[in-house]
Amino acid sequence: MAQVFSTYQMQILDSIANVKSDSVLRDIRDLIADYFSNKALDQMDQLCSDGKLSTSQIQSWSKEHLRTEYH
């Protein structure tokens, strides 16, 4: 099956086509991860500002155990 990339994906692939080292690849992956992490934090801040989310709700999530129990 042929894989089709979007214009945006092709631009990223073209940008990293000449990466030749694991350290540069790690740096790029870290940059991308940081970008999306910051976007998520910005959205959470916006939800808090809009009153749709509170810091106490966020803190309560850290205590949740959502894993499926296997017997």
d(CA 18, CA 30): 18
Tens-digit pLDDT profile for residues 11-53: 999 999 999 999 999 999 999 999 999 999 999 999 999 999 9
Q: Give the model's pLDDT for residue 65.
A: 85
What tokens were used for 25? 């690849």
Let me know: does 43 contact 49? Beta carbons within 8 Å.
no
What tokens were used for 54? 């509170």
Let me know: does 55 contact 48? Beta carbons within 8 Å.
yes
Q: Give the model's pLDDT for residue 70.
A: 83
Nearest to 32 by CA among 12, 46, 14, 6: 12
Q: Give the model's pLDDT for residue 68.
A: 82
Nearest to 53 by CA among 40, 68, 34, 67: 40
